Every structure is written in structure tokens, then in C-alpha cells.
Structure 1
């Protein structure tokens, strides 16, 4: 027991340090690529503001660099490195270790390309690194296969907790998504590693909420909308998941990676001349949506273009997470649906719809309703009353997802979920 406790603490520390370093690297690349806040990694100027203030030529140049890094980097990794092993696959093995070098290279490529403007997410990198370090440490200490699996899952959850400062969400991600159990034996190390990792990451990333939101008043109109609209987000998340799987299954793994990435990121760079909100993992558009900074028309445009940009990148062979990008799709869809609702019913601020929609889409797309509810609160730190519309919408989206799975999936395939990397 003392050895297992020591390993648990070590996993939390190394996952937190890894998430912090990857987060700082992301900020550094963003600042250099788009020329803003050059003297401070953590500044009041956001990535979206930096991109918006940059010239169109600089955006295209950054995306071309991104395409070269993505194409050559992933080609070299597939050509010379050991095959990647996802966290989910590792947890089903008697030896839950993942290849250290290939995993770290894959994580660095994700962070670098997202920093340069890739529309995919950054959360996959710290999860993978945390799980890899936990597996390596567990093997060196000599833990049993079951203990090692728990530690690997905790490492992944701790990496998520560190990079987003969401210790409770990291804990629930381990229990609900990765291990599928809420036993005490799993809950204690999951909670401990996530809290330690988030605390360690404060050293470099600070103890701030990821999003700032105004105070919204809970209304009957919003409650009714949340009860009725949830299934739409479930159906949308299911459809997008199918498209994601198709894009990934047809992505090249050979010399075609470079030309594919060149074409994909060039198209995104050209679109970013007019819509700089497309660049990055989607945090910028989400923040605008929460602060009522996106019109119904702009939300519809960003919803379509963001989804296309993500699918194009995945089809080209680029890697990255889909948590924040998925939330951005949910937020934009919510603003569109909420704007239509406001024409017939008492008006609700668009930002209120965006919070609910982001949580509902996240819950269905990653099949983690409990984690999504808690994450929506941790990321925004909204008032407790906001749990009610969020829970109603998440319940509706999750129920719709189950209907889609039973109706359209003859055999349930876990690879449908967006959290699979």
C-alpha cells in the first residue's frame, strides 16, 4: 500500500509537470507564430486576439509551416517510430504501457501544430504523455497489471486536469470514461492524481478558469429550451462522430501525408483570412459565444467552417484532440438554435445558450455525461443554478445518442467516441 500511494503521488506530479510544460510550449509557439505578447507567455491578450491582429499573410505563412511540420513529423513517426498505442487500447492489455518515444513525439506534434493554428485540440497530448509516464513508472516499480491499468488511466486523467485546471473533471474522466467504474480503489487514486496534477500546473499556468462568463439569470425560457433541445445535440454529435471516424480511417500514413497536409492547411489559411476564429482549438469562438460576441449568422458560418476544417485536418493525417473543438461546435450550434428560439419566446442571452450547448455536445460526442456536466462548471465556474439547464440538455443529448447507437450501429464500436486518439 505505501508503494502504491507513492506511485500515485508521483504520477500526479509528473502528469502535472508534463501538462504544464506542454501548455507553456503551446503559448510560446502561438506568440512566436502570430507575433503577440512576445515578452510574456501568459498575458491578457488571447490567441484569437493575436491572430485577428496579425496580417493575412502571416496567417497563411503560419499554416504553411504547420503543414510541413505535420506532414513530415507524422510521416517520420509512422515510418521510423514504434506504432502508437491509444490509452483505451493499453487499458485492455495485461501490459498497459505505451511506446514512450512515439507517444512523446506525437504529443509534441499535436501541441506544435495547434500552436501554429491547427483547428484540432490540445488535450490529447497531456493525456497521452501522462498515461505513458504512468505506465513506465508502474512497470519500473513492479505494480500488478491491474494496479498499472489504474495508474495509466489516472495519468491520462491527471494530464487533462493539469492542462485545463479541472481536477474533478479529470477524476470523473478516469472513472466514467477510461475505467468504467466508481469503486473506491479507483476513485481515490484518480482524485489524488488529478488534484496533484492541477496544483503542480498552477506553477506555470496559474489558477484561473479557462473561460470568463458574465452572470446569467436563470429563466423559464432557458429551462424550456434546454429540455427540448438536448436531443438535437445528441443527433448532431453522433453524425459528426461518424464523419470523424471516416476521416481518420482514410487518413494517409505514408509519403502522402505531406501533400495532404499542405493542401488542407493552405485551405484553412485562406479561410482564416476572412475568419480568423477558425484557427486554434476553438477556445476563442467559445469565449466569444459565452460573452454574447457572436451573432446568429456568424455562429452558423463558424459552425460549418469549423467542422469542415477539423474534418479536413483529420483526413489529411494531422493529429489532435476533439474536446475543445467539439465544445466550440456545440456552442455555435446552441447560439443558432437559441437565436431561432428567441424569435418566438422570451429572449435569453446567446451566451447562456452557448454554455448549455457546449456541455450537451461534449457529453454526447465523448460519451461522458457526468464528466461533461462537471467540466462545464469547472471550465466556466458558472453559478450553481446553471446546473439545471445543463443537466436537462445533457440528459437529452445522451438519450438521443443511445437511440442512434441502437438504431444505426449493428455492433457497438468504442472507436466512435471522439476521445479516442
Structure 2
């Protein structure tokens, strides 16, 4: 029989960690905003997700300078410490406070300079780190001590709450905890993860506000989209699984020795070179995704931009990872899925016209994300929350992530 904590100790830990994870995420958001202001004199919003007004030279040099700086940070950090994967942190492997703070700050800083990588890993790692510190405090204060299984749950929930505090997405944060890290859903896990993510969201909203992360004007999804879902979701599952494999390969090849002083600047220079004529490439993928969402008609130029955005974001992100960089792959996956979704949607409306192209971007993003992250519920609720969709989106989203995952599981069997 599993040992259980005092319910008061777990309740206190949940509330306190919700506040701390939300505050930690807010601080990382401030670091991102400050970095973008310094390097581009730019304030990121959902309407202007990247520094379009920066000069091509500015867009070329900023990611290069950012890569030079983080290559030094990551090289010297890894002489004594190798970043701990969140799954191992949940199982008890220590996230050293000093090294982890340096690591997560470097991730967010690089994204702020235009580096092509997701920023969602940093707040999750920070949340897990603070949860481990709370557990240590509880061990010294007897009545706050948690049982082994509750420790695992607290660290997983804090990682999810860190995510929720950045993207103002409480259900997504809880699903990240339950689907990806804790890998178990019961009443206690649901209560802890949802409560902590909700608290972190409210704290994070003090800095980020309640605006949608992506601007989607058309939020009423037609039942006719089910035909698109049935055809396209399996394709997204197939392609998303292949991209997941590429990510794993790039991570295995990640440079950690002195070569990082060459490979990271090369990745930064590649990002900057593309950004000179395609600024949407910069950052975590928000620019590429919003570009796809904003497409409202079929044209040769739109097709070219979408296709370029899909391949460029995928390849430059892989170059960042293999070159020595750390960060998330969630928002780059959304960027790739949204561009591909609109391209396939352009074909669909030739047969059944009338549906807004932006909705194909949302659906494609969710289906591709489900496969790359192996988390269908998280993918569904993330697009639902960050786009502020209405209930009509749940049917195509739910069926689509299920079909995408079915194909992905078949490929990995």
C-alpha cells in the first residue's frame, strides 16, 4: 500500500508552489521582455510577435551575439553539471539551484535575442527546481514532510504550473503534468495539478495579462471540418512522429565540449541570416504560427511563405539543438503544424469552400504537436486555451489529436 502524506502538508505545498511557480514564470517572462527590448527595442505582443521593425543587420547580429553568450554559459556550466531531464527530476534526481537558474535564464535569454528554440522548457525546469527545494524544507519541518509518491506528484505538478504561468493555460499545465511527467491520472493528481496550475496562471497573468497568445479571429468551428480532420490528422501524426525522431537525434548529437564555441554561433548566424529576409523565424515559433493564422486567401506567395516557414523553422531549431542549445520544442512544433495545416487547408477548400484558413492552422498545430510531444490531451487543450477558442473547436481538436496519436503509436510499435 502506498504511503500517504498528511493532506494538510500536500495542500499547503500545492498552494505555495502554485504561487512560487507563477512568480518564477513571471520573472522569466520579464527576462524575455527585457532581452527583446535591449536587442531589438521591441515589445512582443500577439499582434506583433517578432521584431519586424528591426533592421536586417540587427536581425542578423542579435541571434549571433546571443549564441556567442550562451555558448560560454553552457560550456562552463556543463564542466560541472549536465542538465537534468524533467522525468528524472520527478523521480528524485536533483536540480541544483544555482546551475538550474543559470540554465533556464540562458534559454530565455537566447530566445529573446531571436534564437530559434522554444522557451517553455525553462519555466517547467524552474518550477520543478522550486518544488524540490520545498520538499527539502518539508523534510526539516516534520509536519510538512511529503510521502515519496506525493513528492513525485509535487515536482511534476510544479513543472506543469511553470508552463501554465507563462502561457496562461492552466488545463494545459495540468495535462503536461499528468500526461508527460507523472503519467498517471487519479483524483489526487488531478486536484494537485489543476489547483497548482490555476494558481500559477493567476500569478503569471499579473505580468502577462489575459490576452490570447495567438490571435484567431474566427472561433466558430464547423462540423464540416471533420472531413478535413479524418484525412489530415493521420498525416500530421506521421510527420510529427518523424520530427520527434529528428529532435531526439539532434539532442543525442548535441555539442557539449569546446566545439560549442563554433557550433552555437553557427546556429545563431544561420537564424540571423534567415531572419534578414524572414523575421518570423526568430524566437520560439510564435511569429511563424501567427503568420500562418493570418493567411486568409490562396496565393502563390502565401504557399511559398508557408512552405518555407515549415522547413526553415524545423531545420533551424534542429541546428540550435544539435549545436549545443537547450530549450523547448513545443512552440516550434505549433509553428510547423500551423503552416502545414494551412497548406493542406488550401487544398480542402478547393473541394469544400467556405471554411476560414486560420482554423486549419489551429487544427494542424494541435495534430502535429500531439505527435511530437506524445501528449494528445495537452495538445488539444493548449491550442484551445492559448487561442481562446469556443466549445465548437473541441470536437475537431479531440478527434484529430486521437487520430494523430493512433498513427504515431502505430509507427512506434
- Bin for the TM-score computed over the shorter chain: over 0.9
Q: Which residue of 2 aligns with 1:173?
A: 176
Q: How big is each residue's C-alpha offset from its partner over 1:89-124, in whole Å with a ceiling of 9 and x where there is no partner?
A: 1223xx353222222111011000000011111100
Q: Which residue of 1 aligns with 2:117?
A: 120
Q: Which residue of 2 aligns with 1:323?
A: 330
**TM-score normalised by structure 2 residue count:** 0.92
Secondary structure of 1:161's aligned partner: helix
Q: How big is each residue's C-alpha offset from its partner over 1:177-201, in whole Å with a ceiling of 9 and x where there is no partner?
A: 2111111121111111111111111
Unaligned runs of 5+ in 1: 407-421
Unaligned runs of 5+ in 2: 1-6, 140-145
Q: Which residue of 1 aligns with 2:89?
A: 90
Of residues 10-19 and 23-32 in structure 1, the stretch that sits farther from structure 2 once superposed is 23-32
Secondary structure of 1:135's aligned partner: helix
Query: Are the structure 2 counterparts of residues 277 and 17 from structure 1 closer, same or farther at C-alpha, using a change threshold of 3 Å?
Result: same
Q: Which residue of 2 aligns with 1:148?
A: 151
Q: Which residue of 2 aligns with 1:419?
A: none
Q: Which residue of 2 aligns with 1:248?
A: 251
**TM-score normalised by structure 1 residue count:** 0.91
- Asked whether the equivalents of residues 154 and 174 of structure 1 are also in contact (C-alpha less than 8 Å), the reply is yes
Q: Which residue of 2 aligns with 1:5?
A: 11
* 1:18 paired to 2:24: yes
Match of 1:302 among 299, 309, 318: 309
- Asked whether the equivalents of residues 218 and 356 of structure 2 are also in contact (C-alpha less than 8 Å), the reply is no
Match of 2:101 among 96, 101, 104: 104
Q: CA deviation at 1:343?
A: 2.9
Match of 1:189 among 171, 188, 192: 192
Secondary structure of 1:319's aligned partner: coil
Q: CA deviation at 1:293?
A: 5.9
Q: How many residues align?
A: 397
Secondary structure of 1:52's aligned partner: coil
Q: CA deviation at 1:245?
A: 1.2
Match of 1:35 among 33, 41, 58: 41
* 1:74 paired to 2:74: yes
Of residues 19-28 and 205-214 in structure 1, the stretch that sits farther from structure 2 once superposed is 205-214
Q: How does 1:371-386 map to 2 (within 5 A)?
A: 371-386=378-393
Q: Which residue of 2 aligns with 1:412?
A: none
- Asked whether the equivalents of residues 130 and 152 of structure 1 are also in contact (C-alpha less than 8 Å), the reply is yes
Q: Which residue of 2 aligns with 1:64?
A: 64
RMSD over equivalenced CA pairs, Å: 1.6
